[in-house]
Structure 1
Amino acid sequence: MECAAKGIRRQCSGTANRPCDSCGAVYYCSNSHQISHWSVHKEECGRLKKQLFCVELLNDFPFTFCQVATDKLYEKVETRCSFLDTFGIHRVGIWLCECSCLSCWKDYYEWRGIPLDSPATLLLHWPLTIYQAVQLASARQLISETMDELCIHYLGPERELYQLSVFGELHALFPGVQVHIDFIGPAVSHDRSSCYVAKEFFFCKSGNGEFSSYTTTDNSSAITSSLHSGYYHDRYRDITKEFLPDLIIAPNAGIAAYKSWSATIELIREIEIPAIFSDYCEEACHLAANCLTSVTGSPLTLPVQLNPFRQPLAIEDSALLIPCYSNCFLFGI
């Protein structure tokens, strides 16, 4: 359960295990957060209390599997994936869309109805890498598995700045979640610092054999982003005056290659926000891991692993004669 006061100026102090004594529908990480949030919660407390009286009615089904499918899912004892796996139908055939668990490009193409000869992956590896990072962080309980809002600090964007519309695909990947991405890096020009609302984005093949990209026209898109010029360790205090990030993501980071990372890693260690990095090849990740552990004094919380949503276009003129792909491997602290 996520703290109902998450996002206020003070960072949550721990697990949200303090329910509201009146309604029992919301939880808090501390007494201070509960008190500070009362001015907001009091407007909904009575209404939520009445709604909870309907729980038994809402969960009343005649099926033998109902306790797992309702109570245990509600109490986070089970997940949709584990429930489907019990019946041997997890990610099988027409059951594919009953969870948002995607494990590879093939799964994603089937789910979105994109033909396998579409070059969509050349762009969509950016949002799909975010998706994979969030799934890994959730699996290791670095962030909440269920949330209504997700704030990501995205470090060092370059090419992505010219392809912001592809991040609208996160609308499909995180349905019902308000996702905000702060893009921070020296490649962001000062005059470009702004807020952008992304729409859902995907590729399909037209009748004449040409590929086209499409965005939805739904103005209620839950994906927003802001651009910030400068290094993360210089801009962090300004960006987080009101909201703290849930997760930090740094694609193709090159930690061992750039001295500027040292101050940023020190900051990440200080603020204790989970951070996931990617790089072009495993050797770059190995060197980065050495840098991270030397600064933090701790091993990686997320060991180096292959990203199933890496860009399927080999990098030319790489420093080493080994396969290199954009967002090829993931690791984190």
Structure 2
Amino acid sequence: MECAAKGLVEEPCAGSAHRRCGSCGAVAYCSKDHQFIHWRVHKEECARLSTQMSRIDTLSQFPFTFSIESLALDHTVPSTRCLFLESIKVHLKGLWKSECICGPEISFVKDLSITAEWNLESSLCPCTEPENPVPEPLASWEDYYRWRSLPLHSPVALLLHWPLTLYHCLQLSHIQTSRYDEHSTLRIHYLGPEKELLQLTVFAELHALFPGVHLHIELVGPAVPRSRDGEVVNISSYAHCSVENCDCRSSTASKDLNCSALTLKLWKGFYHERYGDMDSNPHLILAPNAGVAAYPSWMPTIEMIREIGIPAMFTDFCEEAAHLASCCIRSITGQPLGVPIQVNPFRQPIAENNSALYIPCYSNCFVFGM
């Protein structure tokens, strides 16, 4: 944990930041002097952070029975995620490679493989078509696991939070997916992908979530490898399980999946720079874990989104990041959020470390929209 006064003081910190604010408990300091100096900044946010800290228990509530030694606010155990992946025997395997700190750097990966596997038994992963059509709407991980006939000790939610968050954002945007079929296309612009670039196969679950719908998703961001700029990827089958004789490996497994039913296209660069190169206007813009307030490059992107008038949804790791993002969006557009900040029921069920705050953080934790 970094001292909250870092950057405001000239003298170096006096050691580790172990002195937490007695009111909110969200920030920490290396010394009493640094805490005193930082108060002129912190007094404006202390009550807000205290409210956010009160939601720790709510955000950590998941229906799953797999054991994660998460300690959501323990910043001294950087390998917690790796240890969990090792405990379920998927560490650095298949789709799980980028889920830990020792995974590959996306910028150095030349092959964004769409053939990676779940490395789980068939009973633990959605490797084939669902038994029944999706009920409308899915509102929680319990709903999804029940529909997909998955046991609550299956860890697939750690990866499926990407397509399920997209599903949830479409629901919040009131976009009627029933209007789109093989004769028309539902177009999504997906901003700032990072880990997802090494987990593209999990988006096959959109076949099950939107049966009969032709989805075209254009992923644009600086993390896209230059060698893959402009590449088109067709997802025509679900990721395979580890069972050799499972139906997911048969030649007829994808017979009901039109090879063009889910098309991904990759673009390197910022959205406001590449929008003119992209195929056509989207029905929805989605920016997962956006960090709007942290990166100045968002300013021209937000302005462009305002001008084109397309519904845009954002997610972020913590409530404070979402709050700061909403302030930025309001300052640029002059308008309040169209979809207020709210908890994403399909957030990833394993805590992320935050080097600056003790507030709870999960991938895709909070969702909001223009």
Common fold: TM-score over 0.5: yes
What is the alpha-carbon distance in structure 1 between the residues aligned to residue 323 and residue 249 of structure 2? 38
- Give how far 1:145 is off: 5.2
Deviations 1:270-295 (A, max 9, x none): 10000000000111100000000000
What is the alpha-carbon distance in structure 2 between the residues aligned to residue 314 and residue 98 of structure 1? 28
Q: 1:155 and 1:123, CA in 2 relative to 1: closer, same or farther beyond 3 A?
A: same
1:220 aligns with 2:258: yes
Match of 2:188 among 152, 162, 172: 152
**Superposition pairs of residues 149-188 of structure 1, within 5 angstroms:** 149-188=185-224
Report the 3-state secondary structure (helix = DSSP H, G, I; strand = E; otherwise coil) of the residue aligned with 2:264: strand
What is the alpha-carbon distance in structure 1 between the residues aligned to residue 291 and residue 193 of structure 2? 12
Q: 1:158 and 1:206, CA in 2 relative to 1: closer, same or farther beyond 3 A?
A: same
8 Å Cα contact 1:315-1:325 kept in structure 2: yes
**Superposition pairs of residues 97-116 of structure 1, within 5 angstroms:** 99-116=135-152
Query: Which residue type is aligned with residue 271 of structure 1?
Result: I
What is the alpha-carbon distance in structure 2 between the residues aligned to residue 276 and residue 310 of structure 1? 14
Query: Which residue type is aligned with residue 184 of structure 1?
Result: V
**Superposition pairs of residues 296-311 of structure 1, within 5 angstroms:** 296-311=333-348
The percentage of aligned residue pairs carrying the same residue is 54
- Give how far 1:206 is off: 6.3
- Give how far 1:238 is off: 1.2
8 Å Cα contact 1:247-1:275 kept in structure 2: yes
- Give how far 1:217 is off: 2.9
What is the alpha-carbon distance in structure 1 between the residues aligned to residue 220 and residue 142 of structure 2? 31
Give the number of aligned pairs: 229
8 Å Cα contact 1:277-1:330 kept in structure 2: yes
What is the alpha-carbon distance in structure 1 between the residues aligned to residue 205 and residue 134 of structure 2? 18
- Give how far 1:197 is off: 1.1
Q: 1:245 and 1:134, CA in 2 relative to 1: closer, same or farther beyond 3 A?
A: same
Query: 2:108 — aligned with what?
Result: none
8 Å Cα contact 2:161-2:346 kept in structure 1: yes
What is the alpha-carbon distance in structure 2 between the residues aligned to residue 109 and residue 204 of structure 1? 17
What is the alpha-carbon distance in structure 2 between the residues aligned to residue 184 and residue 294 of structure 1? 24
What is the aligned-residue RMSD (CA, Å)? 2.4
Deviations 1:165-190 (A, max 9, x none): 00010000001110110000011112
Match of 1:272 among 295, 302, 309: 309
Match of 2:273 among 222, 227, 234: 234
Q: 1:145 and 1:188, CA in 2 relative to 1: closer, same or farther beyond 3 A?
A: closer
Q: Which has the higher strand share?
A: 1
**Superposition pairs of residues 127-146 of structure 1, within 5 angstroms:** 127-138=163-174, 143-144=175-176, 146=178
Report the 3-state secondary structure (helix = DSSP H, G, I; strand = E; otherwise coil) of the residue aligned with 2:173: helix
Q: 1:275 and 1:98, CA in 2 relative to 1: closer, same or farther beyond 3 A?
A: closer
What is the alpha-carbon distance in structure 1 between the residues aligned to residue 197 and residue 241 of structure 2? 23
Q: 1:197 and 1:236, CA in 2 relative to 1: closer, same or farther beyond 3 A?
A: same
Greater RCO structure (CA 8 Å; 6+ sep): 2
- Give how far 1:224 is off: 0.9
Query: 2:320 — aligned with what?
Result: 283
Q: 1:98 and 1:286, CA in 2 relative to 1: closer, same or farther beyond 3 A?
A: closer
- Give how far 1:200 is off: 4.4
**Superposition pairs of residues 11-22 of structure 1, within 5 angstroms:** none
Report the 3-state secondary structure (helix = DSSP H, G, I; strand = E; otherwise coil) of the residue aligned with 2:178: coil
The alignment's TM-score, normalised by the length of structure 2, stands at: 0.58
Q: Which has the higher helix share?
A: 1
What is the alpha-carbon distance in structure 2 between the residues aligned to residue 173 and residue 190 of structure 1? 31
What is the alpha-carbon distance in structure 1 between the residues aligned to residue 302 and residue 196 of structure 2? 22
Moved over 6 A (4+): 202-207
Deviations 1:104-154 (A, max 9, x none): 00110110111111110010000000000001001xxxx345321210000
1:258 aligns with 2:290: no
What is the alpha-carbon distance in structure 1 between the residues aligned to residue 339 and residue 249 of structure 2? 35
What is the alpha-carbon distance in structure 1 between the residues aligned to residue 363 and residue 249 of structure 2? 23
The alignment's TM-score, normalised by the length of structure 1, stands at: 0.64
Report the 3-state secondary structure (helix = DSSP H, G, I; strand = E; otherwise coil) of the residue aligned with 1:299: coil
Deviations 1:229-248 (A, max 9, x none): 110000001104xx210000
Query: Which residue type is aligned with residue 146 of structure 1?
Result: S
